[in-house]
Amino acid sequence: MMTSETIPSIEELEAKEREFIKNAEAIALLIQQRREAEKEERVAEAKAFIAKHGLTQADLFGSTVIEQTPAVRSARKEREKSPVPKFLNPATKDKWTGMGRNPDWLLDAIKEGKKKEDFLNPEWTKLNGTIEDKKEPAKSVSPDQAAA
């Protein structure tokens, strides 16, 4: 049997517990600091390697990662949200957004002598104006400039 002299008191055990908790917290803090320091070291090594070998974002992550300018993102959003097709075949009600290859019905009409503009969707024109509105005005050139 154990005597009361060999068994620590509750106060002594609680004091040891507090000391262990304090040490565990200090150790956890040291571990966290060491992990952060190692991460910083690895990032610095990676940056140096990338700079030394002239690697690009595409080299590291493939060509699917592309930085887009705000103008590109804005233009894409405008195209995606436009529900009105740009061109309309009045005879068949076929529609075309104006993007991608020309549809067969439009190619056939052009072969017959019609113009692409003849098939502009009136709804699209109301929203966006005509193709002529989108073209830059011709710059006037003086005869001296033309001769140069």
- Say yes or no: 18 and 51 in one domain: yes
Confidence of residue 98 (pLDDT cuts 50, 70, 90): confident
Residue 141 has pLDDT above 90, yes or no: no
Q: What is the pLDDT of residues 26-81, one digit of tens each?
A: 999 999 999 999 999 999 999 999 999 998 888 887 766 456 666 666 666 665 66
Domain tally for the chain?
2
pTM of the model: 0.36
Domain boundary at 44, 59, 74, which? 59
Q: Does a structural domain hold residue 76? A: no
CATH classification of the domain holding 96: 4.10.430
**Which residues span the domain enclosing 102?**
83-133
Amino acid letter for position 52: K
Q: Does a structural domain hold residue 39? A: yes
Across the range 2-6, mean pLDDT stands at 65
Q: Does a structural domain hold residue 77? A: no
Taking alpha carbons only, the member of 106, 103, 129 closest to residue 118 is 106
Provide the CB-side half-sphere exposure for 107 (13 A, CA).
Answer: 4
Interacting residues of 110 by C-beta distance below 8 A, sequence separation 6+: 102, 116
Interacting residues of 22 by C-beta distance below 8 A, sequence separation 6+: none
